[in-house]
Amino acid sequence: MRDVTSADDLLAWYDVHAREMPWRIGPKNRANGVRPDPYKVWLSEIMLQQTTVTAVRPYFERFTSLWPTVVDLANAEDAAVMGEWAGLGYYARARNLLKCARAIVSDHNAFFPDNKATLLTLPGIGPYTASAIAAIAFDQPETVVDGNVERVMSRLFMVETPLPKAKPELTELATALTPTNRPGDYAQAVMDLGATICTPRSPACGICPWLASCKARKAGVAANYPKKLPKVAKPTRKGAVYVARRRDGAWLLETRPDKGLLGGMLGWPGSEWGENICDHKPPIQAEWTKLGADVRHTFTHFHLILDVHITSASESDIPLAGDFVSPANFRPSDLPTVMRKVFNLASKELLSD
């Protein structure tokens, strides 16, 4: 085995060990002229941001069943898409997904641009996603750098700079290795290497196609890379939510503002979230009962604790916030995870009456 880092060695490994994914065209099919669907590449890359392949797979399959093309997605109802996205988190991605689909249809005649520069002009597509689509869907020699690639590069070159400061250095190293031959397969190969062999803990260095040239492996310290800055403790925020159910089975729900956390998603009316529960008014004048248990949820940057208040409303109650939604038009699965936790807790009391 050569003591030099070669894209050819990695591609030879990928040709045998490529992971099978519903959005991927494997190396054998690509070699036979089968081209990836840019729509599926884009959709999978948006879904995979901050999310695992295992978690994304059922969402991807459901989305492509409901909306097989970018035109279908562009014509979809916002609420339907947001409902299907529930549980994937980072809900701004779902809003941008629709904006991007509609821009591709209206501005690009339903065809995805084949170059990074134009892709970057689309809503919700940043440098990483643009590079991934250009490389994987169109075989452009763009460098794709996710967490797996960062880990591989940091070990391969034994980069001492900690993340996230090391990102520019790791990107530069990854760029130097990106070949002009089969760049799409290569981009996926590096990610597969990081996901299956060069794993965060206990990397399987003995079967790595780049073991001969990996500096961290030679030094016996591969598991110590990448270096990372100490994590900052997450703050805790608090809030209150109000769950009202009418005698006819309707639930009081609101659609959150487009901007901000959980933007555009269904939720329960309530207070702002802060260090303490802010002053606020219940959404209807009624006798509210505060449940003895609270709801706890962790977002990327903070922990959240919600006090849950419930009431049985009447048809004459006029809400100050939100609207009553009939049971026929409400699915708990349409709620984002934290709001679904609230429903699960509150419904035990309200549905038992």
Q: Is pTM, for the whole model, over 0.75?
A: yes
Residue tagged active-site, from 20, 45, 61, 160: 45
Q: pLDDT per residue over 181-211, tens digit each?
A: 999 999 999 999 999 999 999 999 999 999 9
Q: pLDDT per residue over 140-153, tens digit each?
A: 999 999 999 999 99
Output the pLDDT for position 333. Answer: 84
Asked whether residue 312 carries a pLDDT value surpassing 80, the answer given is yes
Q: pLDDT per residue over 70-110, tens digit each?
A: 999 999 998 889 889 988 877 788 889 999 999 999 999 99
- For residue 66, CA distances in Å to 35, 75, 87, 228 come to 22, 11, 17, 41
Q: Please, which pLDDT band fits residue 351 given cuts at 50, 70 and 90? A: confident
Q: pLDDT per residue over 232-290, tens digit each?
A: 889 999 999 999 999 899 999 998 887 778 888 889 999 999 988 877 889 999 999 99
Q: Answer yes or no: 20 catalytic.
A: no
Bridge partners of 310, per DSSP, are 243, 289
H-helix or E-strand spanning residue 295: strand 295-298
Of 168-177, 316-325, 330-339, give the range with the top mean pLDDT: 168-177
> Smallest Cα–Cα separation from 291: which of 235, 332, 216, 342?
342
CA triple 276-235-255, angle to 5 deg? 65
| Average pLDDT rounded to a whole number, residues 337-343 | 93
> Smallest Cα–Cα separation from 244: which of 287, 292, 294?
287
For tokens 């879904």, what's the residue?
Answer: 47
Q: pLDDT per residue over 301-311, tens digit each?
A: 899 999 999 99
Alpha helical stretches, state H, 36-113: 38-48, 53-66, 70-74, 78-85, 92-107
| Average pLDDT rounded to a whole number, residues 29-42 | 93
If one counts every other C-beta atom within 10 angstroms of the C-beta of residue 205, the result is 18
Contact indicator for 331, 343 with CB cutoff of 8 Å? no
Contact indicator for 50, 224 with CB cutoff of 8 Å? no
Q: Please classify residue 290 by burial: count the beta carbons closer than 10 Å to its beta carbon, then call 0-12 exposed, 13-18 middle and 19+ buried.
A: exposed
Contact indicator for 282, 309 with CB cutoff of 8 Å? yes
Asked whether residue 1 carries a pLDDT value surpassing 60, the answer given is no
Coil, helix or strand for 197?
Answer: coil
Question: Residue 56 has what DSSP assignment?
Answer: H
Judged by average pLDDT, the poorest of 50-64, 252-266, 316-330 is 252-266
Structural domains of the chain ordered from first start: 7-224 (1.10.340.30), 236-350 (3.90.79.10)
Asked whether residue 48 carries a pLDDT value surpassing 90, the answer given is yes
